[in-house]
Amino acid sequence: MTLSTIRHDWTHQEVEALLNQPFNDLIFAAQTVHRQHFDPNSVQTSTLLNIKTGGCAEDCSYCSQSSRYDTGLDKEQMMQLDEVLNKAAQAKTTGATRFCMGAAWRNPNAKDFEMVLNMVRGVKDLGMEACCTLGMLNDEQAARLKEAGLDYYNHNLDTSESFYPQVITTRSFQDRLDTLERVRNQGMKVCSGGIIGMGESNTDRAQMLRTFANLPEHPHSVPINLLVPMEGTPLADMRGKTDPFDFIRVIATARIMMPASYVRLSAGRSEMTDETQALCFLAGANSIFYGDKLLTADNPDSQHDLMLFKRLGLTQATGGC
């Protein structure tokens, strides 16, 4: 069995061995696997828009949009359809092929959900792939999103099952797995990843990656986020506490374990040097969020990304996850 084999039976010992091997060996293995499944010099770009900001009932310790924390973020009403579609059209002109809409909800309410369905239809009419992240879904909501044309649904696991209660108490780890199952059952593609730098151990990181890789179907994209500490949240003091090489190890291990998935270098890029990002691309990251804002966190501006791509000889992918 080669490293590029699609597997769903990883043991914890195997994952830890991958994650903790000498750095050069890990990067070589990840780049080798990457080249067997993808163009090594192509990066898919997506744009994320926060269509409803603040007021979330969840207590995610990293999130500035939780109503439980005083982060200085004002609760805003749902964006109007025309405004969302104008943002999508702008993103398309800058090269984005996929448009993701995020709302700060525990789960969608009936009135706003109808508006989201219209947004999905509008994005599809622009010729773009559509993605949503709306919190937990029930069976009917998943079916209606599929009917509207949704391509991808983002619902992160965030961390390992054992560390999860230290980060979130208002929903269970199983709740998240159940939503992923509903999305898969409707034939939509799953986008699900985690956050590095919340105080978790290497063992937690290995457990999280094992959970993703042992799902019945690997997520089509796996966003790996570096925590962006937000003032007013319980994790506000965690800035700068993650070794960049440890973060890159997670990227490389994800690439090896999920060879055909897009591995997205996601939140936290504004905290990374260009050199760290380049090593992430070498380790198998082949997708980024494109634009100057990720929900409420800063992101490198698109011109900086284009300059970095030029320096590295990378091109924007025209499709994918």
Assess whether pLDDT exceeds 60 at residue 305.
Answer: yes
Question: What does the pLDDT look like over 211-250, one tens digit per residue?
Answer: 999 999 999 999 999 998 888 888 888 776 889 999 999 9
Q: Is 313 helix (H, G, I), strand (E, B) or coil?
A: coil
Positions marked active-site:
56, 60, 63, 100, 131, 191, 264
In the predicted structure, residue 36 carries a pLDDT above the cut 90: yes
Strands (E), 122-280: 129-133, 152-154, 189-191, 194-196, 221-226, 262-265
Confidence bin at 293 (pLDDT 50/70/90): very low
Enter the pTM of the model. Answer: 0.88
Q: State residue 42 phi and psi, 5-degree precision.
A: -125, 135
Helix, strand or coil for residue 90?
helix
pLDDT band at 100 (very low <50, low <70, confident <90, very high): confident
